[in-house]
């Protein structure tokens, strides 16, 4: 009986020691990440996610429209052709004369907001091609008939959104917005991963899901993408 009591007491002491070790390990694991840094990461994660909410929805939606163009009517028949008489001070035309080029460039800019660097001067015509998100405009000065021919093509709202997604024909300011938003999305992703570090179980599951999804994408690329 005395042996059994001593043995039972010894087992209880072992259980207490094991619990103490586990509790100390948990405390150490919790202390591995500074609480203040977690609060900062949480704040950044929340506010960046809200700031980019509509922007990320925009990218998600336009990702579908780019991947399935046949689902949307992105090429409507919305073409417009207009002819304008050239002003008297540009007649007779002298396309090789610097003063005439500057005068015609000023007129084109005042009428259609044309950049002088976009103008191509030829012997019998002057051509300006302007491309915007989902739009195309071609302006031709016919120096024989002294008329301006303006052809405008509008490809629709979906085409505008698709071009904005790709940053095509969107200008420097929009490209800068895309760069800033990309950096913020990276920051949003990294802070989300950082917040999982103290949560061991969730971190393990998240790493597992990330590995499965990434491996699946790589496998699809290797085996199914031509």
Kindly state whether residues 14 and 51 are assigned to the same domain. Answer: no
**Cis bond upstream, residue 50 (ω within 30):** no
CA Rg value for the chain: 33
Kindly state whether residues 84 and 115 are assigned to the same domain. Answer: yes
What does the pLDDT read at residue 141?
A: 94
> Which residues are CB-neighbours of 120 under 8 A, at least 6 positions away?
126, 127, 128
Kindly state whether residues 27 and 37 are assigned to the same domain. Answer: no
> Which residues are CB-neighbours of 108 under 8 A, at least 6 positions away?
114, 119, 128, 139, 141
Kindly state whether residues 21 and 125 are assigned to the same domain. Answer: no
Kindly state whether residues 85 and 64 are assigned to the same domain. Answer: no
The total domain count for the chain is 3
- For residue 164, pLDDT over 90 is answered with yes
Kindly state whether residues 20 and 119 are assigned to the same domain. Answer: no
Q: Is the dihedral of CA 119, 125, 131, 135 positive or negative?
A: positive
**2 is a domain residue:** yes
Kindly state whether residues 53 and 165 are assigned to the same domain. Answer: yes
Kindly state whether residues 87 and 127 are assigned to the same domain. Answer: yes
Going by pLDDT thresholds of 50, 70 and 90, the confidence category of residue 70 is confident
**203 is a domain residue:** no
Kindly state whether residues 88 and 139 are assigned to the same domain. Answer: yes
- For residue 31, pLDDT over 60 is answered with no
3 lies in which domain range? 1-31
Q: What is the pTM of this model?
A: 0.73
Kindly state whether residues 83 and 180 are assigned to the same domain. Answer: no
Total residues found in the chain within this entry: 226
Kindly state whether residues 27 and 10 are assigned to the same domain. Answer: yes
Kindly state whether residues 114 and 99 are assigned to the same domain. Answer: yes
């Amino acid at each position: 009986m005395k042996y059994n009591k001593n043995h039972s007491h010894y087992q209880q002491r072992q259980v207490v020691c094991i619990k103490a070790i586990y509790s100390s390990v948990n405390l150490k694991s919790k202390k591995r990440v500074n609480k203040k840094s977690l609060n900062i990461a949480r704040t950044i994660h929340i506010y960046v996610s809200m700031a980019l909410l509509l922007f990320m929805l925009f990218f998600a939606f336009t990702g579908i429209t780019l991947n399935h163009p046949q689902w949307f009517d992105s090429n409507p028949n919305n073409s417009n052709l207009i002819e304008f008489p050239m002003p008297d001070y540009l007649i007779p035309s002298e396309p090789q004369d610097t003063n005439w080029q500057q005068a015609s460039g000023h007129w084109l800019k005042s009428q259609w907001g044309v950049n002088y660097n976009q103008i191509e001067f030829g012997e019998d015509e002057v051509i300006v091609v302007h491309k915007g998100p989902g739009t195309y405009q071609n302006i031709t000065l016919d120096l024989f008939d002294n008329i301006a021919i303006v052809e405008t093509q509008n490809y629709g709202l979906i085409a505008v959104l698709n071009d904005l997604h790709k940053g095509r024909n969107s200008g420097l300011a929009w490209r800068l917005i895309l760069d800033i938003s990309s950096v913020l999305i990276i920051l949003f992703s990294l802070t989300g991963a950082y917040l999982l570090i103290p949560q061991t179980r969730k971190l393990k599951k998240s790493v597992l899901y990330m590995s499965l999804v990434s491996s699946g994408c790589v496998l699809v690329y290797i085996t199914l993408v031509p």
